[in-house]
């Protein structure tokens, strides 16, 4: 029977690398292996250094290994055609048009990707299928969908027979399919969940949170990989000694709080790309580093015998001239005040990028900086795996709360937003529509996709609010953010579905006008600033560049790049960190050339940033707080 292995974890922890190395391991042992990504911001092709796309592709240089990147748009087209196709020859055109309209809701894309995902779970063509999933919060939502949709299909079949996925009759088979998928996900003999984390507090917090959420729907994770551990022998200066000590403390805390098998992976002095580098990771992950049960680790945090080593020639040995080096070091600092401070009207600032690049920390630092300028500032997170409260070291709830002078913070809670949204829509409709129409609207509002629309509605309220001069959005990882920003367009269609052919179109017109105004604000560079956060390595640069192009296609211009986690020159005293810094400088030059935007460089801090005092210190080192 096919073995399914899922990799999950906070964005940027190395899920794709660990998933790819695991897939290589099984392929090299003779197992026919497929690696599939469900991440809307996939970088599988970047890691393997070959084109993959929405088709099963053989990986060059590795027998028995195949890969596929599920493309949400293509999956949606296939999904819609599978439902509508059988009716094209037997139903009139107006019925087909109605079916197509019903399948244009914002949830259809997510369901289509999940439907394709299930197809792989039910195939017996492969011995092992490795799933490189999307960042944790979004993945958990994806995995919860079979339960939600099964219930929704069943409930809708008792009512009008209509769902935002189309008529129940046309998708009734989906119920059995999703139930089978749920059973497979819960079967430890067939399915293993592996969480990848970094040795830091935020990553541990996210791993614990995500693991518990999975357990609430009956799925138990089987193993932990702690990735990117600093090798003790290269931490000879105080800066890295302290970081090493902090990492070891987190590793020990992980051993006490997560009673699961663990593997450990040391940080390299360069990035991992290409089949040869991934083979090396696979060898260390399996041959030199067998899984350790918590009962066998004792006090030893990880095997010190595993020596760090470079996977590619160092940049010092070619391809990086002195002039290029000098150019990378002297990137001009952007005018932060001109970009971030208001000019008489509420301004929205968005920080987005690949998961794990430090968006939340940068959002908190920027918020504190602006607040200390005397500007009333609201920090909002739309990330389903939010942790701004962990960085601020205060509890952040679903209502704005004061953090310090002029600074407030709020977390958009989808469940609460959904409840408020549903009640408001129905209250506005009462007295304007018949009881039958109200019942149909309520049924439509009960679909799982409404949660995401409700969260966007809350997001819109903060932009519309006149209570704050600046609203800073710590957004979800890139693919999910772009999906959120696409919602107003899809949402207009959803509103039309809910009001149907009713004579009174006040709600529809008011909603469409409202979102038209919001889109206008988002596209106005004086009212909204989009900032891409990345660290200077190939994968986050490529992903951020794709995000910039996607935003541009939607009429939104990116105005700033934040290059985070840059190694300070004075602490890079040995070959290991000199190699990493040379790599970073090379990529800083690429950032400058590729994006052609102002670049704000943020140094790696000695301590993990948590609490207002460290945030103030961090902002001070940037020259952002006077």
3-state secondary structure 89-119: CCCCHHHHHHHHHHCCCCHHHHHHHHHHHHH
- CA separation (Å) from 370 to 36, 342, 392, 586, 605? 42, 10, 15, 31, 21
By CB neighbour count within 10 A (0-12 exposed, 13-18 middle, 19+ buried), where does 3 fall? middle
The pLDDT score that the predictor gives to residue 551 is 83
Element (H, E) at 538: helix 538-553
Residue 572: DSSP 8-state = -
Residue 134: DSSP 8-state = P
Q: What is the mean pLDDT of residues 370-392?
A: 80
Residue 51's contacts (CB-CB under 8 Å, 6 or more residues apart) are 45, 57
The pLDDT score that the predictor gives to residue 625 is 39
- Does CATH number 3.40.50.300 belong to domain 3-298? yes
Q: Indicate if 344-532+609-620 has the same CATH topology as 3-298.
A: yes
> 493-523 pLDDT, tens per residue?
555 544 443 444 565 666 667 777 877 888 8
CATH class of 344-532+609-620: alpha beta
- Encoding tokens for residue 394? 């205060």
The model's pTM is: 0.75
- How far apart (Å, rounded) are the C-alpha atoms in residues 340 and 306? 46
- The Cβ-side half-sphere exposure at 260, using a 13 Å CA radius, reads 20
- Encoding tokens for residue 462? 């903060």
Do residues 469 and 377 make contact, with C-beta atoms less than 8 angstroms apart? yes
Q: Pick the range with the lowest mean pLDDT from 48-57, 424-433, 579-588.
A: 424-433
> 399-445 pLDDT, tens per residue?
888 988 999 998 887 778 888 888 887 887 787 777 777 776 776 67
The pLDDT score that the predictor gives to residue 507 is 58
The pLDDT score that the predictor gives to residue 157 is 52
- How far apart (Å, rounded) are the C-alpha atoms in residues 188 and 222? 8
pLDDT confidence of 377, banded at 50, 70, 90?
very high
The answer for 542, left when phi > 0, alpha when psi is -120 to 50, beta otherwise, is: alpha
Q: Which of 343, 293, 305, 289 is nearest to 21 (CA)?
A: 289
Higher pLDDT, 323 or 536: 536
Q: Which residues of 569-601 are buried (b: 16+ CB within 10 A; e: fewer)?
A: eebbeeebbbbbbbbbbbbbbebbeebebbbbb
List phi, psi (to 5°) of 249: -65, -40
E-assigned strands of 202-327? Answer: 223-229, 261-266
Higher pLDDT, 569 or 454: 569
The pLDDT score that the predictor gives to residue 73 is 79
Domain ranges of the chain: 3-298, 344-532+609-620
Q: Which of 453, 480, 455, 357 is nearest to 38 (CA)?
A: 480
Instruction: Give the mean pLDDT of the chain.
Output: 77
- How far apart (Å, rounded) are the C-alpha atoms in residues 592 and 162? 51
- How far apart (Å, rounded) are the C-alpha atoms in residues 580 and 567? 8
Q: Is the dihedral of CA 389, 394, 400, 405 positive or negative?
A: negative
Q: Which of 129, 106, 104, 105 is nearest to 116 (CA)?
A: 129
By CB neighbour count within 10 A (0-12 exposed, 13-18 middle, 19+ buried), where does 216 fall? exposed
Higher pLDDT, 347 or 542: 347
- How far apart (Å, rounded) are the C-alpha atoms in residues 596 and 624? 22
Do residues 262 and 292 make contact, with C-beta atoms less than 8 angstroms apart? yes
The answer for 611, left when phi > 0, alpha when psi is -120 to 50, beta otherwise, is: left
SS3 454: helix
Do residues 139 and 19 make contact, with C-beta atoms less than 8 angstroms apart? no
- Encoding tokens for residue 455? 């969260």
Cβ neighbours around 172 below 10 Å, total: 13
């Amino acid at each position: 029977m096919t073995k399914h292995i899922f990799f999950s974890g906070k964005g940027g922890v190395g899920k794709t690398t660990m998933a790819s190395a695991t897939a290589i391991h099984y392929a090299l042992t003779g197992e026919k292996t497929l690696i599939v990504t469900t991440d809307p911001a996939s970088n599988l092709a970047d890691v393997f250094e070959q084109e993959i796309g929405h088709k099963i592709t053989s990986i060059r240089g590795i027998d028995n290994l195949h890969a596929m990147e599920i493309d949400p748009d293509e999956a949606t087209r296939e999904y819609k055609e599978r439902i509508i196709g059988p009716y094209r020859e037997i139903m009139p055109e107006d019925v087909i048009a109605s079916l197509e309209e019903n399948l244009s809701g914002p949830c259809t894309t997510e369901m289509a990707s999940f439907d394709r995902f299930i197809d792989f779970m039910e195939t017996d063509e492969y011995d092992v299928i490795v799933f490189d999933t999307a960042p944790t919060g979004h993945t958990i939502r994806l995995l919860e969908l079979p339960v939600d949709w099964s219930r929704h299909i069943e409930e809708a079949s008792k009512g009008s027979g209509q769902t935002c996925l189309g008529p129940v009759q046309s998708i009734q088979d989906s119920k059995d399919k999703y139930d089978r998928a749920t059973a497979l996900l819960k079967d430890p003999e067939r399915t293993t969940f592996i969480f990848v984390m970094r040795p830091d507090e935020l990553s541990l917090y996210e791993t614990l949170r995500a693991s518990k959420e999975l357990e609430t729907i009956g799925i138990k994770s089987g193993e932990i990989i702690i990735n990117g551990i600093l090798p003790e022998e290269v931490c000879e200066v105080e800066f890295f000694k302290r970081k090493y000590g902090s990492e070891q403390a987190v590793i020990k805390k992980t051993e006490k709080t997560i009673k699961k098998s663990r593997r450990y992976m040391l940080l390299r002095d360069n990035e991992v790309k290409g089949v040869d580098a991934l083979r090396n990771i696979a060898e260390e992950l399996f041959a030199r580093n067998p899984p350790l049960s918590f009962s066998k680790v004792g006090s030893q945090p990880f095997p010190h015998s595993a020596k760090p080593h470079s996977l590619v020639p160092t940049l010092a040995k070619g391809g990086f001239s002195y002039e290029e080096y000098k150019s990378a070091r002297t990137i001009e600092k952007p005018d932060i005040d001109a970009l971030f401070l208001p000019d008489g009207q509420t301004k929205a600032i968005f920080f987005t990028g690949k998961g794990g690049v430090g968006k939340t920390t940068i959002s908190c630092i920027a918020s504190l900086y602006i607040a200390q300028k005397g500007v009333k500032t609201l920090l909002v997170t739309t990330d389903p795996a939010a942790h701004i409260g962990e960085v601020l070291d205060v509890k952040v709830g679903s209502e704005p709360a004061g953090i310090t002078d002029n600074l407030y913070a709020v977390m958009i809670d989808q469940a609460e937003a959904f409840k408020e949204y549903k009640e408001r829509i129905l209250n506005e409709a009462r007295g304007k529509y018949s009881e039958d129409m109200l019942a149909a609207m309520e049924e439509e509002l009960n679909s799982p996709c409404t949660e995401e629309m409700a969260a966007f509605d809350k997001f819109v309220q903060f932009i519309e609010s006149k209570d704050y001069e600046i609203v800073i959005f710590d957004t979800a990882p890139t693919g999910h953010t772009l999906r959120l920003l696409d919602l107003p367009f899809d949402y207009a269609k959803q509103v039309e579905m809910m009001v149907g052919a009713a004579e009174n179109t006040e709600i529809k017109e008011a909603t469409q006008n409202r979102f038209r105004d919001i889109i206008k604000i988002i596209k106005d560079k004086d009212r909204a600033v989009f900032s891409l956060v990345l660290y200077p390595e190939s994968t986050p640069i490529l992903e951020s560049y794709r995000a910039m192009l996607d935003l541009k296609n939607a009429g939104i211009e990116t105005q700033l790049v934040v290059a985070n986690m840059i190694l300070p020159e004075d602490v890079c005293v040995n070959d290991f960190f000199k190699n990493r810094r040379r790599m970073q400088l090379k990529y800083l030059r690429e950032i400058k050339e590729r994006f052609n935007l102002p670049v704000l460089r943020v140094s790696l801090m000695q301590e993990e940033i948590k609490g207002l005092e460290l945030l103030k210190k961090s902002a001070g080192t940037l020259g952002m707080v006077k």
